[in-house]
Amino acid sequence: MAETQEIIKLENAHKDYRMGESVIHAVESIDLNIKKGDFIAIVGPSGSGKSTIMNLVGALDLASKGDIFLDGQNIENLSESELAQIRGRKVGFIFQTFNLIPTLTALENVMLPMMFQDIGREERRERAEKLLKDVGLEKRTNHLPAELSGGERQRVAIARALVNNPEVILADEPTGNLDTKTGRQVLEILKNLNKQGKTVIMVTHDLEMAREAKHIIRLRDGKIEK
């Protein structure tokens, strides 16, 4: 049986930030292989480098040193426009604060990422309506984010993350602003997406949630704990 292909690979990745005359080593010497169809939880205390790892894994940022491969392509060699295109196709993002545009309806928020992939309006609408139905929000399509509950907003964000059919779902503290019951519902959606073949990477401080993943990566002081 062939070995499952890697979808994301970090090789000796470092990320430094300059603050005045000081240099902050956010993450150091990170080697990480994530295979297609995996479900990974990244955990660690505040300041451990979780957000930095998320930005690198999701191609939101480039390493200061080392290499990052997304589906076999070294993103360190891409221009910003090329990076945006591959990110838009390969990765769907779910954020703790939802990041919905307040002046757009649920439907319009879900349709938005497809505009940057040159998808026609009719197809954008059809895809968005189907995904909102899939997450149980077919009756809330014309509501603004302020008219939705926290759980509903997160489900809109999940639908938006899925709309370009990405291979990787990157969830940054997806249950952080939700009550326990709603958080479990969101986690079940992520688990079902993983069962459908999506690679799910969840950054969380909640160890109970993390234990639902197939693998847990623990960070401390910018390094992976062995």
Question: Considering the domain boundaries, does residue 52 fall inside one?
Answer: yes
Question: Considering the domain boundaries, does residue 44 fall inside one?
Answer: yes
pLDDT-based confidence at residue 78 (cuts at 50, 70, 90): confident
Containing structural domain, residue 192:
37-60+81-224
Question: Considering the domain boundaries, does residue 25 fall inside one?
Answer: no
Contact in structure between 142 and 106 (CB atoms under 8 Å): yes
Looking at residue 103, what is its pLDDT?
96
Q: Per-residue DSSP letters for 119-183?
A: --HHHHHHHHHHHHHHTT-TT-TT--GGGS-HHHHHHHHHHHHHTT--SEEEEESTTTTS-HHHH
Question: For the chain, what is the domain count?
Answer: 1
pLDDT-based confidence at residue 89 (cuts at 50, 70, 90): confident
How much is the mean pLDDT over the chain? 90
Question: Considering the domain boundaries, does residue 105 fall inside one?
Answer: yes
Question: Considering the domain boundaries, does residue 16 fall inside one?
Answer: no
Question: Considering the domain boundaries, does residue 164 fall inside one?
Answer: yes
CATH code at position 209: 3.40.50.300
Q: Is 71 helix (H, G, I), strand (E, B) or coil?
A: coil
Over the stretch 93-102, which tens digit does the pLDDT of each residue have? 998 888 999 9
pTM assigned to the model: 0.88
Question: Considering the domain boundaries, does residue 167 fall inside one?
Answer: yes
Over the stretch 4-20, which tens digit does the pLDDT of each residue have? 688 999 999 999 998 88
Question: Considering the domain boundaries, does residue 29 fall inside one?
Answer: no
